Amino acid sequence: MRSAVAQAILTSIMCVSIFSFCSCYTVRPADLPGRYTVKPKWGTAELLLLEGGRLEEVVTDSSGRHTTIGTWRLLPGGSLERKPCFVFDYDGLRGKLESCSGKAHRYSDGHFGIGLDPDFEFAYEK
């Protein structure tokens, strides 16, 4: 039988491992304002979230600078909704949509991310 100390140490190690793997914490609307960027091989994209739910999104690629101004809100479940929004991926700008949403994350090191794909491999970060 394991001692209580050994069991406590094992439990602590497991908890730290799980938090390191997940590396995300709860996000509140007040956490989100700021400048987010992503720099794919084809250009840059910046998302400026302002207090009060306003946003500016700027995508620069070989065809020029594309800007949209709109609104944002944090949805139940932690997704950030942007209206309107640009759609882009690893290969380039795909267009503009009326609405987009992506999971908002706060990492253990304190920085924030907004997912641009379901697997959170491509994200705005601040």
Mean pLDDT by groups of 10 residues along the chain of 126 residues: 51 41 71 96 96 97 96 95 93 93 91 82 88
CA distance 11 to 59: 46
Residue 21, pLDDT score: 41
Tokens of residue 18, six digits:
């799980």
Residue 89, pLDDT score: 86
Q: 22 near 107, Cβ under 8 Å?
A: no
Helix or strand holding residue 16 (H, E): helix 4-22
pTM above 0.85, yes or no: no
Domains in the chain, CATH or no CATH each: 25-125 (2.40.128)
